[in-house]
Amino acid sequence: MNVRFADRRPEGAYALAFPQQAGQADSDRLTSLLGDGAGLVRQAATAARFEGEAGSVAEVFAPEGAGVRRVLLAGLGDGDQDAQYERAGGALVAKVQMSGEKTLVIDFTGHKGTAERAARLAYGALLRSWRYDVYRTKLKPSQKPSLDEIVIVGAGEGAEAAWTSLKAIADGVAFTRELVTEPANIIYPESFVERCQKLKELGVEITVLGPEEMTKLGMGALLGVAQGSRRPARLLAMRWKGSDAEPVAFVGKGVTFDTGGISIKPAAGMEDMKWDMGGAGAVAGAMLALAGRKAKAHVIGVCGLVENMPDGNAQRPGDVVTSMSGQTIEVINTDAEGRLVLCDAITWVQKTYGVKTVIDLATLTGAMIISLGHEHGGLFSNDDGLADKILSSAKASGDTLWRFPMGDAYDKLIDSPIADMKNVGPRYGGSITAAQFIKRFVEDGVKWAHLDIAGMVWAAKPGATWDKGATGFGVRLIDRFVADHLEG
Q: Does 304 bind Zn ion (CB under 5 A)?
A: no
The 223-262 site mask, x for binding ligand BES (CB under 6 A), equals -----------------------------------x----
Kindly give the interhelix angle for 430-439 and 338-353, rounded to the nearest 10 degrees.
Answer: 30
Q: State how far the Cα of 207 lies from the Cα of 201, in Å rounded to an integer.
A: 14
Residues of this chain, 444-463, that bind ligand BES according to CB under 6 A: 454
> Residue 262 CB, nearest distance to ligand BES (Å)?
12
Q: Does 430 bind ligand BES (CB under 6 A)?
A: yes
Q: State how far the Cα of 317 lies from the Cα of 331, in Å rounded to an integer.
A: 6
Q: Does 305 bind ligand BES (CB under 6 A)?
A: no
Residues of this chain, 257-286, that bind ligand BES according to CB under 6 A: 258, 276
Q: State how far the Cα of 325 lies from the Cα of 222, in Å rounded to an integer.
A: 12
Contact range with ligand BES by CB under 6 A, out of 24-32, 88-96, 342-350, 363-371: 363-371
Name which position in 172, 338, 377, 378 contacts ligand BES (CB under 6 A).
338
> Residue 434 CB, nearest distance to ligand BES (Å)?
7
For this structure, is 274 an active site residue?
Answer: no
Name which position in 99, 333, 400, 416 contacts ligand BES (CB under 6 A).
333
Q: Whose Cβ is closer to ligand BES: residue 319's or residue 337's?
A: 337
Name which position in 255, 282, 290, 346 contacts Zn ion (CB under 5 A).
255
Max CA distance (Å), the chain: 83
Backbone angles phi, psi at 122, to 5 degrees: -65, -35
Taking residue 31's Cβ as centre, other Cβ atoms within 10 Å add up to 15
Contact 231, 256 (CB under 8 A): yes
Backbone angles phi, psi at 97, to 5 degrees: -55, -40
Cα angle 233, 239, 244; round to 5: 155
Q: Which amino acid is at 422?
A: K
| DSSP states along 76-120 | EESS--HHHHHHHHHHHHHHHTTSS-SEEEEE-TT-SS-HHHHHH
430 binds, among Zn ion, ligand BES, none (CB under 5 to 8 A by kind): ligand BES
Q: What is the four-CA torsion angle of 147, 153, 155, 157, rounded to 10 degrees?
A: 110
Q: Does 110 bind ligand BES (CB under 6 A)?
A: no
CA-to-CA separations, 82 to 109, 120, 126, 285, in angstroms, rounded? 18, 6, 15, 21
Kindly give the interhelix angle for 159-181 and 278-292, rounded to the nearest 10 degrees.
Answer: 150
229 binds, among Zn ion, ligand BES, none (CB under 5 to 8 A by kind): none
Q: State how far the Cα of 402 lies from the Cα of 26, in Å rounded to an integer.
A: 39
Q: Does 360 bind ligand BES (CB under 6 A)?
A: no
3-state secondary structure of 413: helix
Contact range with ligand BES by CB under 6 A, out of 77-85, 118-126, 178-186, 329-337: 329-337
Q: Which amino acid is at 28?
A: D
Name which position in 97, 365, 371, 471 contacts ligand BES (CB under 6 A).
365
Q: Whose Cβ is closer to ligand BES: residue 365's or residue 371's?
A: 365
Q: State how far the Cα of 268 lies from the Cα of 442, in Å rounded to an integer.
A: 36
Name which position in 59, 116, 182, 276 contacts Zn ion (CB under 5 A).
276
For this structure, is 70 an active site residue?
Answer: no
Q: Does 474 bind ligand BES (CB under 6 A)?
A: no
Q: Whose Cβ is closer to ligand BES: residue 255's or residue 446's?
A: 255
Residues 6+ apart with CB under 8 A from 121: 19, 74, 85, 86, 88, 89, 106, 152
> Residue 95 CB, nearest distance to ligand BES (Å)?
31
Q: Which residue is nearest to ligand BES (CB)?
A: 366
> Residue 340 CB, nearest distance to ligand BES (Å)?
9
> Residue 413 CB, nearest distance to ligand BES (Å)?
11
Q: Does 424 bind ligand BES (CB under 6 A)?
A: yes
Name which position in 171, 178, 307, 335 contacts ligand BES (CB under 6 A).
335
The 319-348 site mask, x for binding Zn ion (CB under 5 A), equals ----------------x-xx----------
Q: Which positions lie near ligand BES, rule CB under 6 A?
A: 258, 276, 333, 335-338, 363-367, 424, 430, 454
- Residues designated catalytic: 265, 339
Binding site for Zn ion (CB under 5 A): 255, 258, 276, 335, 337-338
